Amino acid sequence: MTEIDRARLNQLHTRETQRFISDHPQSAAHYQRAQSSLLGGVPMNWMKKWAGPFPIFVKSAQGAHFTDVDGRDYIDLCLGDTGAMTGHSPPVVADAIARRVREGITLMLPTEDSLWVGEELRRRFGLPFWQFTLTATDANRFAIRLARQITKRPRILVFNWCYHGTVDESFITLKDGVAQARRGNIGPPVDPAVTTRVVEFNDLAALQQALAAGDVACVLAEPVMTNVGIVHPETGYHKALRELTRKSGTLLIIDETHTICAGPGGYTRAENLDPDFFIFGKAIAGGVPGAAYGFTQEVAKCISDGQNLEDCDTGGIGGTLAGNALSLAAMRATLTKVLTREAFPRMISAAERWTAGVEKAIAEFSLPWHVTRLGCRAEYQFSPTRPKNGTQAHDAMDFELERLMHLYAMNRGILLTPFHNMALMSPQADPEDVDQHTRVFREAVKELVA
Ligand SMILES: Cc1ncc(COP(=O)(O)O)c(C=O)c1O
């Protein structure tokens, strides 16, 4: 197996940084100007973390490509970290949005689109009742609150190195088997160890033990971990997870915000899962802010029984703009016309092509890396074998190497999903774009091991 020479890596990083700076004068100027009005020169703190000395400023995006303010074109394999999994601004969604924008955007009242979307979500995912929020984070937060109220239990359980948005309870990791606040956790309301149990994914014994005390309201899980690199469940894991949660009276929240990439019904439909709550955000409205959470008949009854009309606007589940007319019009167009049953085979086949290309280059240069895929999402990880849990996936990360690979790709017109090495395919994915990534990836690793 080929070792990465760190001096070579640093040398390439310096060269690629210089190339990035000279290729992006307008982005550099915008970044400089932004220093006086935006904290750190960016509209959101994590935009500072892109590989490269400053972020690329975007001019426009369409389908699987975007153009920056320097006039450069990019193949977009990030797709807004799933927010634009539909491809950027699909014309049918853009038309529906334009129509709705002229007819009222937000009213605190339902529109007919909400009926259609509720019925489609019910048909697609099998859960009978739905509610809407603006973000997947909020959908998770509200499902957790409801689970606490229904079970009258204080805690939740998450998997080590999970990510479910900015949900306070989830910023917890295991260090030498002890649960503690995740590094970088900003201003936690309470120590997450008070609110949350955390166990490794695929460790049934640990799960059973953590649920045994009977104080866990819900397990919040991605059915396949996607945010620390892709970590698949072992055979039978989901069946056992469901059995253990049922046995201990714990509700199961399946967060499909990313795993919708597995197919039109998400991983839940593909693998016949049976959750109590189902979360779907980001791509649901083609990039317009919007998310949904669905739940079973039993959960719906408990919610209704516990609801008090007089207090229902201040119970901790809300959002003035949640369920707004614009989000629902965009959801309707996205679900009917874009993220359809017919679209997925093409998206998945593009991800298979990407996987085969990257695997071939890894083998050619004998690198101790591997590729994992879930539907139309694929990722290379810096370890020879698939991780079994979040810790193994996290241990395979290499911040400097990852930054070089991303910078190298950006300098050659390809945007990967930041903070890991993921590529996502939209319905407009072009095999030629996929092959271009393969060529650039091969060139990068060839230079790295030279
Ligand atoms: C699995 C999962 N759930 C929820 C979220 C939160 O989404 P948002 O940031 O849109 O609230 C994310 C964000 O990356 C996610 O990966």
**Which residues fall within 8 angstroms of residue 26, CB to CB, at 6 or more apart?**
57, 68, 69, 70
pLDDT in tens, 247-277: 999 999 999 999 999 999 999 999 999 999 9
* Average pLDDT over every residue of 336-343: 98
How far is the centre of ligand 1, averaged over its atoms, from the C-alpha of 152 (Å)? 26
Angle between helices 297-306 and 136-151 (to 10 degrees): 70
User: Taking 90 as the threshold, does the pLDDT of residue 67 lie above it?
Assistant: yes
In the structure, what pLDDT confidence band is assigned to residue 88 with cuts at 50, 70 and 90? very high
* Average pLDDT over every residue of 398-410: 98
How far is the centre of ligand 1, averaged over its atoms, from the C-alpha of 356 (Å)? 28
User: Taking 90 as the threshold, does the pLDDT of residue 55 lie above it?
Assistant: yes
Please report, rounded to a whole number, the percentage of residues in the chain having pLDDT higher than 70: 100
Q: How many CB atoms lie within 10 A of CB 194?
A: 13
User: Taking 90 as the threshold, does the pLDDT of residue 3 lie above it?
Assistant: no
Nearest to 133 by CA among 318, 331, 322, 286: 322
Query: Which residue has its alpha carbon closest to ligand 1 atom 6?
Result: 165
Q: How far is CA 142 from the centre of its chain?
A: 18
User: How far is 47 from 32, CA to CA, in rounded Å?
Assistant: 14
* Average pLDDT over every residue of 366-385: 98
Structure tokens at 54: 């400053």
Give the pLDDT of residue 404: 98
Structure tokens at 80: 């807004």
How far is the centre of ligand 1, averaged over its atoms, from the C-alpha of 259 (Å)? 11
Choosing from 137, 253, 377, 417 the residue with most ligand 1 atoms within 8 A of its CB, the one to mutate for a pocket test is 137
Choosing from 78, 159, 164, 168 the residue with most ligand 1 atoms within 8 A of its CB, the one to mutate for a pocket test is 164
Query: Which residue has its alpha carbon closest to ligand 1 atom 3?
Result: 164
Among 1-5, 155-159, 273-277, 443-447, which is the least confidently predicted range? Answer: 1-5
Residues in the chain: 450
In this structure, which amino acid lies at residue 71?
G
* Average pLDDT over every residue of 331-339: 98
Structure tokens at 268: 């839940």
User: Taking 90 as the threshold, does the pLDDT of residue 1 lie above it?
Assistant: no
Give the pLDDT of residue 171: 97
* Average pLDDT over every residue of 160-164: 98
How far is the centre of ligand 1, averaged over its atoms, from the C-alpha of 164 (Å)? 5
Query: Whole-model pTM above 0.75?
Result: yes
* Average pLDDT over every residue of 374-384: 98
Q: Is 90 exposed, middle or buried (0-12, 13-18, 19+ CB in 10 A)?
A: buried
Binding pocket residue ranges, ligand 1, CB within 6 Å: 81, 135-137, 140, 163-165, 222, 227, 255, 257-258, 281-282
Query: Which residue has its alpha carbon closest to ligand 1 atom 14?
Result: 165
Choosing from 79, 82, 257 the residue with most ligand 1 atoms within 8 A of its CB, the one to mutate for a pocket test is 257
Among 101-115, 160-174, 305-319, 357-371, which is the least confidently predicted range? Answer: 305-319
How far is the centre of ligand 1, averaged over its atoms, from the C-alpha of 1 (Å)? 36
Give the pLDDT of residue 185: 94
Give the pLDDT of residue 46: 94
How far is the centre of ligand 1, averaged over its atoms, from the C-alpha of 205 (Å)? 28
Q: Is 139 exposed, middle or buried (0-12, 13-18, 19+ CB in 10 A)?
A: buried
User: How far is 266 from 251, CA to CA, in rounded Å?
Assistant: 19
User: How far is 267 from 252, CA to CA, in rounded Å?
Assistant: 14
Residues 332 and 110 sit within 8 Å (Cβ to Cβ): no
Mean residue pLDDT of the chain comes to: 97
How far is the centre of ligand 1, averaged over its atoms, from the C-alpha of 71 (Å)? 31
How far is the centre of ligand 1, averaged over its atoms, from the C-alpha of 363 (Å)? 33
What atom of ligand 1 comes closest to residue 222's alpha carbon?
Answer: 1
User: Taking 90 as the threshold, does the pLDDT of residue 425 lie above it?
Assistant: yes
Angle between helices 112-125 and 325-333 (to 10 degrees): 50
| Best mean pLDDT range from 174-178, 309-313, 324-328 | 324-328
How far is the centre of ligand 1, averaged over its atoms, from the C-alpha of 22 (Å)? 34
* DSSP-assigned states of every residue in 127-189: -SEEEEESSHHHHHHHHHHHHHHHHT--EEEEETT---SS-GGG-EEEETTEEEEPTT--S-S
* Average pLDDT over every residue of 177-183: 94
Choosing from 161, 162, 163 the residue with most ligand 1 atoms within 8 A of its CB, the one to mutate for a pocket test is 163
